[in-house]
Amino acid sequence: MNIKNALRVSVTLVAVLTLAVVGWACDFAFNYDEITAPVGTVGEIGVRVQKTHNNCTMADPFDYQFAWENLQILGETPWEEVGPQLYEKWFKVSLSVPGEGFLKISKTCSKEGYEEAVLPITVTEGAADGPFLQALSGTYPFELTADLSVNTVVGAVHLEGELLTIGYLQVLLPTIPIGLEDYLGEARLYYTSGGEQAELLLLVSEDFLYRFDHLEAEASSQ
Rounded distance between C-alpha atoms, residue 59 and residue 37, angstroms = 38
pLDDT tens sequence across 34-91: 999 999 999 999 999 988 766 666 656 788 999 999 999 999 999 999 998 899 999 9
Radius of gyration in angstroms for the set of CA atoms belonging to the chain, rounded to a whole number = 19
φ, ψ of residue 145 in degrees (nearest 5): -80, -15
- Percentage with pLDDT > 90 across the chain: 54
Judge contact between 42 and 27, C-beta under 8 A.
no
- CA–CA distances in Å: residue 14 to residues 18, 60, 141, 186: 13, 31, 21, 33
Is the pLDDT assigned to residue 221 strictly greater than 50? no
Arithmetic mean of pLDDT, 157-166: 93
- What span, in angstroms and rounded, lies between the C-alpha atoms of 114 and 29? 16
Question: What pLDDT score does 220 carry?
Answer: 42
**Cα–Cα distance for residue pair 183/104, rounded to 1 Å:** 24
At 215 the pLDDT is: 63
111-158 pLDDT per residue, tens: 777 889 999 999 998 888 899 999 999 999 998 877 778 999 999 999
Over residues 164-176, the mean pLDDT reads 90
- DSSP E strand stretches across the chain: 12-13, 26-30, 35-38, 42-51, 65-69, 71-76, 80-83, 86-95, 99-109, 113-124, 150-156, 158-160, 163-166, 169-172, 186-192, 199-204, 209-211
